[in-house]
Amino acid sequence: MKKTLIFFLLWSWCLPAVLMAQAKSALPLQTGEDVAVATTTSGKVRGYIHNGVYTYKGIPYAQAKRFQAPQKPASWEGVRSSMTYGPVSPLMNPTTQVNDEVEFVFHHDWGYTNEDCLRLNVWTKGLNDGKKRPVMFWIHGGGYTAGSSQELPSYDGEAISQKGDVVLVSINHRLNILGFLDLSDFGDQYAGSANASFYDLLAALQWVKENISSFGGDPDNVTIFGQSGGGGKVSTLMSSPLAKGLFHKAIVQSGVWSDFQDQATSKRIGAAVLAELGLNASTVDSIQNIPYEKLVAAGNKALQKVREQLAAEGKPVGPGLRFGWGPTLDGKLLPYHMSDPRALENCSDIPLIIGSTKNEFMASLRNPALKNANETEVKEFLKKQWGDKTEAYISAVKKAYPKDTRPNDLMDIDAFFRPGMVAQANAKSAKGSAPVFLYLFTWQSPVMDGAYKALHCMEIPFVMNNIARCEEMTGGGKEAYALADKMSQAWIQFARTGNPSHPGLPTWPKYNEAVGATMMFDNVSVIRNHPDKEVLEMTMAVPARF
C-alpha cells in the first residue's frame, strides 16, 4: 500500500510535465531562436515548423545589378530569419483593381515588389537526417512578365512535402523588361541581359545543387515543374545546354511551346529603349538609376516602334515581341529553338510529364454575355472562327466529350495550349530516350454554378494537394480531395522514380504519337488514346484565338 501511494504521488507530480511535453510536440506551429535552423553556403537561416514540415521563405539565392548576370548572394553573420516571403519582381502593370468574382476564385497574394527579388522558399520534413528526398522545383506562372512564388494559394509547398516526403522549392526571379532587355551591344557587363531572367533560374538551380542536402534533399534528383509561363520556362530550360545536369526530370503544365525571339530583334529593341531614355553607348550605365516606371514606359514605346518597323519592312513579328518580353535565341544560353532537333537532343534523357486543362481561357468567361448562351448563340459565336467548318467542329467536340451538356461547352474547349502540348509530346517522344507522359485535366469545378469548369490554373491545387487552401477555386468537396490525392501522388511518384503510375490511378503508359495514350484526370480518371483527335486536327490547322 505504501509503495502504491509513493508511485501515485510520483506519477501525479510527473503527469503535468508529461502532458505539457505531449502538448508541445503536438503543436501545429513551432517557432523559436533555435527552431528550424539550417545552414547554407551564405550563412545560417531560421524558418519554422508547421504540421511537421520545416518551412523557409525568402532565402537569397543570388544578387544582381540591373541587366547583369546574377552573382552569389552576400554572406551574413549569425542566423538570418527566413519566415516570410521575400520581395517579388516589379510588375509592368501593377494591380489597381480586380473583378470581384474572379478575384474570389483565384485569391491572389500580390506580395511586395523590389528589384532585389532573387529569393527562394523551401519546404521539407527533415534537416541533415541522411535522407535523400526528391526535390521538386516549382516555377510560377504569369508569362514572362508577371507572377511570383506566392501569387496563388495553390503554390504553397507544405501539403505536397508532407504527403510525399519531398523537398519543395519555389522561387522569384526577374521578369519583364528587367529580365529580358537586350543590352548586349553596349558592354560586356550586359552580355547575358537578353535572358537575365533565365540566368536567375540557373542560379537558383545551382543554389539547390549546392545547398539542398542541408534541407534533406537529393541534389541528384531534381524535378523542375511549372504552369503556364512556368511551363514555358521549364521547356526553355530543357532547351538550354547551360542547364544540363541541374535537373533530372521535368513537368510542363499548360505551357507554350514556341520559338524564341531572334537576337537581331531583341538588340533592336534594346537600342530603341536607350533612345527613348536619351542614352547611348557611353552613357548606358546610367540606366541603373532610371526609375522603374520610366524604364517600363520606355520599354513599351520601344516595343511598339519595333513592331511597326518590322511590319513596314514586311518581316514577321516573333512570339516574344508579339506578347511583350520573353527569351531570346542568344547562341549561348539558348542556341536552338525548342522544336529544333538539337534542343530535343539536349533533353533526350529527361523524363517528361506534359499536359493542359480542358477549358483554359474559356470563351464563356471572356464574354459574359455568352455565359448562359443557348445553342444558336453558341453557333453564331463559333462561326466567327470556323465559318463553313462550324458544324464539323461541333461534331468533333461532341465526339471528344460526349458527356458535355451545356451549349457553351462547345465553345469553351481550349485551342491554345493543348495543340502545343501534344506537338511537344510528339517531338520529345520521337527524339528522346526518356519517357513522356501526356495528360488532360477535364475535372469540372462546381464553383459559381460550374462557370469555371477546368479553367487555366485549375489543376494546380490538385497537383500540390492544396484543396484546403483553394476552396474558392475547387469548391473543397470530397471529389476534389479524392482527385488531388491521386494527382499529387502521381507527381510525387514521378519526382521519385520518373514514372507517375501508382495504385490509385490506371497504369499510365508512356506516350507516343502513334498510340496517343492520354491520362484524363477526372472523378474517374481513365486512359484514352487520341481522345480529341479530330478537334486537334482542326485547331492545329487554324491559329488559336483566346
- Cα 471 from Cα 194, distance rounded (Å): 39
Residue 505 gets which letter from DSSP? Answer: S
HSE toward the beta carbon, residue 192, CA cutoff 13 A: 18
Q: How wide is the angle at C-alpha 337 spanned by C-alphas 335 and 340, nearest 5°?
A: 100
At 369 the pLDDT is 86
- Cα 441 from Cα 414, distance rounded (Å): 11
- Highest mean predicted confidence (pLDDT) among 9-13, 159-163, 320-324: 159-163
Average pLDDT of the chain, as a whole number: 93
At 542 the pLDDT is 63
Buried (b) or exposed (e) across 26-46, using 16+ Cβ within 10 A? eeeeeeeeeebbbebebbebb
**Structural domain range at position 456:** 351-539
Mention every residue, 6+ apart, whose C-beta is less than 8 A from residue 37.
44, 45, 46, 79
What pLDDT digit, counting tens, does each position of 174-200 carry? 999 999 999 999 999 999 999 999 999
Q: Domain ends where: 350, 367, 394? A: 350
Please report whether residue 363 resides in a domain. Answer: yes
> How many structural domains does the chain have?
2
At 546 the pLDDT is 40
Q: Domain ends where: 296, 322, 350? A: 350
Task: Specify whether 376 is located in the same domain as 340.
Answer: no
Task: Specify whether 345 is located in the same domain as 365.
Answer: no
Residue 196 gets which letter from DSSP? Answer: H
The CATH number covering residue 300 comes to 3.40.50.1820
Strands 352-357 vs 48-50: parallel, antiparallel or unpaired: unpaired
Please report whether residue 448 resides in a domain. Answer: yes
At 540 the pLDDT is 84
Task: Specify whether 234 is located in the same domain as 109.
Answer: yes
Task: Specify whether 364 is located in the same domain as 339.
Answer: no
- Cα 193 from Cα 177, distance rounded (Å): 10
More confident residue, 111 or 18: 111
Do the Cβ atoms of 229 and 144 come closer than 8 Å? Answer: yes
What does the radius of gyration of the chain's CA atoms come to, in whole angstroms? 25
**pLDDT range class, residue 321, cuts 50, 70, 90:** confident
At 352 the pLDDT is 98
What pLDDT digit, counting tens, does each position of 442-495 carry? 999 999 999 999 999 999 999 999 999 999 999 999 999 999 999 999 999 999
- Cα 543 from Cα 496, distance rounded (Å): 38
Task: Specify whether 377 is located in the same domain as 295.
Answer: no
9-18, 96-105, 133-142, 263-272: segment of lowest average pLDDT:
9-18
**pLDDT range class, residue 26, cuts 50, 70, 90:** low
At 545 the pLDDT is 47
Q: Is 386 exposed, middle or buried (0-12, 13-18, 19+ CB in 10 A)?
A: middle
Task: Specify whether 284 is located in the same domain as 355.
Answer: no
More confident residue, 496 or 318: 496
- Cα 226 from Cα 219, distance rounded (Å): 19
Q: What is the DSSP string of 344-395?
A: HHHTTT--EEEEEESSBS-HHHH-GGGTT--HHHHHHHHHHHHGGGHHHHHH
At 483 the pLDDT is 98
Statement: residue 506 has pLDDT above 80: yes
At 433 the pLDDT is 87
At 19 the pLDDT is 40
What pLDDT digit, counting tens, does each position of 196-235 carry? 999 999 999 999 999 999 999 999 999 999 999 999 999 9
Mention every residue, 6+ apart, whose C-beta is less than 8 A from residue 466.
153, 154, 156, 159, 160, 460, 484
What is the pLDDT averaged over residues 278-286?
A: 97
**pLDDT range class, residue 49, cuts 50, 70, 90:** very high
Task: Specify whether 409 is located in the same domain as 312.
Answer: no
For residues 34, 125, 20, 18, the Cα torsion angle rounded to the nearest 10 degrees is: -110
**pLDDT range class, residue 93, cuts 50, 70, 90:** confident
**Which residues are known to be catalytic?**
228, 360, 456
Q: Is 208 left (phi over 0), alpha (psi -120 to 50) or beta?
A: alpha
Task: Specify whether 225 is located in the same domain as 370.
Answer: no
Task: Specify whether 430 is located in the same domain as 448.
Answer: yes
Task: Specify whether 332 is located in the same domain as 399.
Answer: no
At 11 the pLDDT is 45
Q: Domain ends where: 310, 327, 350? A: 350
Count of CB atoms situated within 10 Å of the CB of 306: 20
Please report whether residue 6 resides in a domain. Answer: no
How much of the chain exceeds pLDDT 90, in percent? Answer: 88
